[in-house]
Amino acid sequence: MGEGLNRAAQLPLDGLQLGRSRSRTWTPQHRRSSGVFSNRRLDEWLFPIEDEEAYATWVSGPRQQWLQSVQRYGGFRGWLLEGLELRGMDDKNYLLGLRWLSGVALPHSAQAEWAQRKTIAEEIEKDVPRTFPGHPCEAALARSSRDILRMLCCARNVTVGYTQGLNFTAAVLSCTMGRDEAFWCLTALAESVAAHFVSGNMLQGAVADCECIDWLASQLEPKLFALCRSSEGYSSVIFARPLCTLLSCCGLPVDATLQCWRAILHSSNPRIFLLRTLAAFVLQTAARLLAASSGASLELPELMEALQKTFQQTYDAQVVLSAAAASVEILPDSTLSKKLEEIEQRLQQSAAESHQRRQMENQKLQEKRLKQLVLEDRSARQSLLREMQLLWRHERHRDVSQLDFLMLLAADHLDVIGVKSSTWEAFLSTVFVDLDSSHSGMVLLKHALIAVALLLGETPLERVSAIFSMLEIESLCLRDDFLELAEATGQENSASEWLVANGITENLNQNVFIKALLALPSLALATLSTLDSKPGNAGSFSISFTSSSGTLLPVAPKWVPDEQQVACQLCSTSFTCCRRRHHCRACGRRTCRQCSGQRLALAIIGYPNPVRVCDECFFVLSPAV
């Protein structure tokens, strides 16, 4: 094992005080019966022999030569770990391991630390009984594997964790060597070959490996590998199972598994050689498929079945390992490592962006739920709008702080709306922060009321109705209130000119109010969409207030990205190669041609000539309404 073992590592696991019944399990007779490489028993027990001809060819000669070379190293442990320097366990973890194997209870102060280890041990316990069914030494092997996995995953390094499949790795090692030796071999595999799974996100590590295998195979044999890539539905994720197969020997015969493990452990970069080995398996599969299919296109299930058969029918792994070693001449380790690093960086960035999107989506879903709760309960919606109406009548010229804003709108309506106080207050706080772009800590209450009214509607008409309801008295909007609304948006002159030009001398009903919004184009656009105009700015809409100037400024909407919308956002019809996608210039939504056939000039956001708008935007903005 090398010179680097400390005192704790050199203490034999077999020498622990496990009780007589357990110590009697490991006699020379039992060890001989569990090391069954001289016949078919191990292969038949763990992995059904899929190819009798390949198996017979292997055991007729090459296998005996291989076993003789193993014996020259003193057994499988010496053969696998020849020349490798393994670090031992520190004293603390070694003592923890003693507790696991002896069943000594922990003091109360250490129970919290023990919780994670206990969870891992419970997962191990689920798998051990189903690892050795029918084996002649099932009870002894189960005890050995349980001890090995507990010492590795619960004592030596808790961050290793435990995944299903490690039990089969422990099984193969337990069948070929003693418990101590199997433990150190499993440690070498876990910490040298699969360390990137432990140090980071396991799923992300597997995805990076799969993408790198895909890239490596395409670089080594582009024409041959093109046959695999041509499979309908192909994705590099199909290599996840082969990756696990090589790491946990699920599907690859024991002989080939051990050969691959040794080659990988003794390479200068175990992870890189693991990828080279898998790419060699993939290209071997592609060569067989090409010979069988004469270049015809493949279905994905055919490719996956062929790949599985390649593993199941491999007993002598030297051909694959030689191909993996030879690939260094075409692509050096440095090139492959650089590519792997690029993939990992991209995946990390993608994961961070995905996490940020999920946070934003969760925030939007929370806001949507709040709005739906209000909209579904007409009485609650009307109650809230009446409260806002009173505030508009008597308090609209006030500057309010965030706390004042919450107290004015939150306190009396939480029970009616049926939402938690913290959730509703978080929603209103988001609205306030969005308005307070100058960070003064104060906003005009009328600005806040307009913002909340806009967010209470799901459709343009609902948002217009919410604004109208906040201003109305007996189904009419006072002319002075409309002018006050126009003043709040910085467009009082435009509103006055429209009222005079259209002969509006009295109060406005809802239909006239909708037409009058054309005099306030920025507010009209704000009724179209409550999609975020700024990343991470939940609750904002296509128009943003500025409390310092007291105006409502027009901002061109952010277009919905192509990859985020596969169907029309108005009629839900799926896009195809014939049904093209279009963006509404007013709200930025993704629509089909039938739902965006109208054209309007939108000079307020930089479109002086008529441009495409969706039907909902046309309904609000068209002079013909």
Quote the distance between the C-alpha of residue 84 and its chain's center. Answer: 36
Q: Is residue 599 part of a domain?
A: yes
**Of 4-13, 102-111, 485-494, where does the model show the most confidence?**
485-494
What is the mean predicted confidence (pLDDT) over 515-533?
63
User: Who has greater pLDDT, 200 or 70?
Assistant: 70
Please indicate, yes or no, whether residues 110 and 144 belong to a single structural domain of this protein.
yes
Contact 471, 392 (CB under 8 A): yes
Quick one: tokens of 184? 């150190």
Instruction: Give the whole-number percent of the chain exceeding pLDDT 70.
Output: 71
Please indicate, yes or no, whether residues 177 and 221 belong to a single structural domain of this protein.
no
Q: Is residue 357 part of a domain?
A: no
We report the CATH number of the domain holding residue 606 as: 3.30.40.10
Q: Is residue 348 part of a domain?
A: no
Q: E strands within 287-438? A: 399-400
Please indicate, yes or no, whether residues 189 and 208 belong to a single structural domain of this protein.
no
Q: Degrees (nearest 5) of the Cα angle 465, 466, 468?
A: 60
Residue 335 CA neighbour count, 13 Å, CB half: 11
Contact 541, 556 (CB under 8 A): no
Q: What is the pLDDT of residue 111?
A: 57
In this predicted structure, the answer to whether residue 29 has a pLDDT above a threshold of 50 is: no
pLDDT tens digits, residue range 183-230? Answer: 888 888 887 777 666 544 567 778 888 899 999 999 999 988 888 888
Confidence bin at 273 (pLDDT 50/70/90): very high
In this predicted structure, the answer to whether residue 496 has a pLDDT above a threshold of 70 is: yes
The number of folded domains in the chain is: 4
Please indicate, yes or no, whether residues 264 and 291 belong to a single structural domain of this protein.
yes
Exposure string of 5-21, with b = 16+ CB inside 10 Å and e = fewer, is: beebbebebbebebeee
Q: Is residue 526 part of a domain?
A: yes
pTM above 0.75, yes or no: no
Percent helix, percent strand, percent coil in the chain, to nearest 5: 65, 5, 30
What is the mean predicted confidence (pLDDT) over 236-260?
79
In this predicted structure, the answer to whether residue 330 has a pLDDT above a threshold of 90 is: yes
Please indicate, yes or no, whether residues 300 and 324 belong to a single structural domain of this protein.
yes
Last residue of a domain, one of 152, 174, 193: 193
In this predicted structure, the answer to whether residue 135 has a pLDDT above a threshold of 70 is: yes
Quick one: tokens of 572? 């839900």
In this predicted structure, the answer to whether residue 67 has a pLDDT above a threshold of 70 is: yes
pLDDT tens digits, residue range 461-470? Answer: 778 888 888 8
In this predicted structure, the answer to whether residue 553 has a pLDDT above a threshold of 90 is: no
Please indicate, yes or no, whether residues 326 and 293 belong to a single structural domain of this protein.
yes
Phi-psi region of 550 (alpha: psi -120 to 50; beta: other; left: phi over 0): left
pLDDT tens digits, residue range 77-96? Answer: 889 888 887 777 766 777 76
Which residues neighbour 393 within 8 Å (Cβ) at sequence distance 6 or greater? none
Quote the distance between the C-alpha of residue 168 and its chain's center. Answer: 28
In this predicted structure, the answer to whether residue 391 has a pLDDT above a threshold of 50 is: yes
In this predicted structure, the answer to whether residue 253 has a pLDDT above a threshold of 60 is: yes
Contact 614, 584 (CB under 8 A): yes
User: Who has greater pLDDT, 613 or 431?
Assistant: 613
Last residue of a domain, one of 193, 217, 252: 193
Gap between the Cα atoms of 424 and 410, Å rounded: 7
What is the DSSP track for 512-574?
HHHHHGGGSHHHHHHTT----SSTT-TT--SEEEETTTTEEEE-PPPPPPGGG-SB-TTT-PB
Q: Is residue 94 part of a domain?
A: yes
Q: Is residue 323 part of a domain?
A: yes
Q: What is the pLDDT of residue 218?
A: 92
Residue 225 sits in which domain range? Answer: 200-331
Please indicate, yes or no, whether residues 460 and 505 belong to a single structural domain of this protein.
yes
- Cβ neighbours of 77 (radius 10 Å): 21
Supply the Cα-derived Rg of the chain in whole angstroms: 35
Q: What is the pLDDT of residue 159?
A: 66
Please indicate, yes or no, whether residues 423 and 535 belong to a single structural domain of this protein.
yes
